[in-house]
Amino acid sequence: MGIFSLDPDQLAGCRELRDLARRHLAPLAEQGGPGRVNRPLVAELGRLGLLERLFTAGALDLCLMRESLAQVCTEAETALALQGLGAHPVHAYGTGAQRDRWLPAVRTGRAVAAFALSEPGAGSDAAALGLRADAEAPRAEKWLLSGEKTWISNAPEADFYTVFARTGEPGSRAGGVTAFLVPADRPGLTGTPLDMLSPHPIGTLAFDGVPVTADDVLGEPGGGFRVAMNTLNLFRPSVGAFAVGMAQAALDATLAHTARRQAFGGPLKDLQTVAHQVADMAVRVESARLMVYAAAAAYDEGADGVPGRAAMAKLLATETAQHVVDAAVQLHGARALRRGHLLEHLYREVRAPRIYEGASEVQRAVIARETYKEAAR
């Protein structure tokens, strides 16, 4: 894979997305409540054709969408990404009936999707799921789901969930997991919202004998871990793109602030300590951006080593964004801590991506494993 750069059409597309976000999405985001699904915002994403692009875009286009939206409106970016994460398993592994039932409504923003993998005892260790899918009878292809999911974005307000449950023996780990498409109105399924630091909706789900059948399986019985990992391999670089977008927004705010803020006889940017810090922020943002693009391009090309590249991109970009946003707050001073300031908002938003879809520690474990594999070859 050669040196990566965006072509003029891609650059123009990113500018158009940022403009759409400013004019159409940010006003709707401001009207939404924290911790709630903003359905008018989701519907507008559908009207603008952005949700449709989730199912036609490659990994690189997905990254460009998420980075561009994040620079202007993190709420719109997150709403888009959660629709993709929850519905991608249906798009990639669903039956014709499942796709026909749900994907048109997802594309238009009429149905809200969610990806239900994490549990109280199975977050970073995704193969250790405890949610049980107990067969009603041998070979009946009917199960009852019992257990709990937590830290689920869009729960409990989603219209359907991609749910991962254990259909094999508890010791079977990854091989005993099956993915199910579970509509929110199934009997026995309830949920509770959680009050979190980041403003997007997150909640718990309780499964009390929720009925599912072979018609609800995504992929093959026992193949759910593959469904989950392939979905995450696609979305992990784009989590990095979300982080790069936030980091760029923080850098842009810092450039504007340090150019106009007067201190010690001149603008802050003329102070060597400030200029060097801004330079370091710029280098980190561009480095993370290039790694995200490279990982996405590798995914689109079907290149070797995608899990390792995706893990590297997510790790570097999310850790970079945390550093850059924190540095931006420091250079802005107390004004950045005031509720409603862009950096106060980014400071709350930027923390979660280092944890979800695989914490930084998990990414390091993946990178080490893939690096040793490559060395052995």
Give the residue numbers annotated as catalytic, written as ranges.
Answer: 357
Type of residue found at 78: T
Pairwise CA distance, residues 29 & 122, whole Å? 32
Nearest Cα neighbor of 325 from 314, 315, 336 is: 336
Q: 145 in helix, strand or coil?
A: strand
Quick one: which H or E segment has residue 156? none
Phi, psi of 371 (to 5 degrees): -70, -40
Around 131, how many Cα atoms within 13 Å sit in the side-chain half-sphere? 31
Using only the alpha carbons of the chain, give its radius of gyration: 21
Do 159 and 116 form a contact (C-beta atoms < 8 A)? no
Type of residue found at 88: H
Pairwise CA distance, residues 348 & 196, whole Å? 10
Residue 309 is encoded by which pair of tokens?
């590249």
